[in-house]
Amino acid sequence: FKENLTLFCNNQSAINLPKNPIFCARIKHIEVDYPFIKEIFISENITADYIHTSN
C-alpha cells in the first residue's frame, strides 16, 4: 500500500494476533497466510484499531 490503512475491528483477538503470535489448534488454519499478514502489520502499513460493535 502507498498509504497507511486503518482497519477497524470489533474482535480484540484478531487485532492482537499479529502482535503476539501464540499458535494453537484453534488458529492453525491462519498459519498459512500469517507471515504475509505479520509482515504488513510490522511494516506499519496497516494498523488495527478496536471499535465496539455498537459503533
Nine-digit cell at 1? Answer: 500500500
* pTM of structure: 0.52
More confident residue, 40 or 10: 10
Tell me how far apart the alpha carbons of residues 11 and 2 are, in angstroms, rounded to a whole number.
26
Tell me how far apart the alpha carbons of residues 51 and 37 are, in angstroms, rounded to a whole number.
20
pLDDT of res. 21: 61
pLDDT at 49 > cutoff 80: yes
pLDDT at 27 > cutoff 60: yes
- Tell me the average pLDDT across 2-15: 81
Expressed in angstroms, the distance from the first to the final Cα of the chain is 27
Tell me how far apart the alpha carbons of residues 28 and 8 are, in angstroms, rounded to a whole number.
24
Nine-digit cell at 34? Answer: 500469517
- Tell me the average pLDDT across 41-51: 78
- Tell me the average pLDDT across 41-48: 75
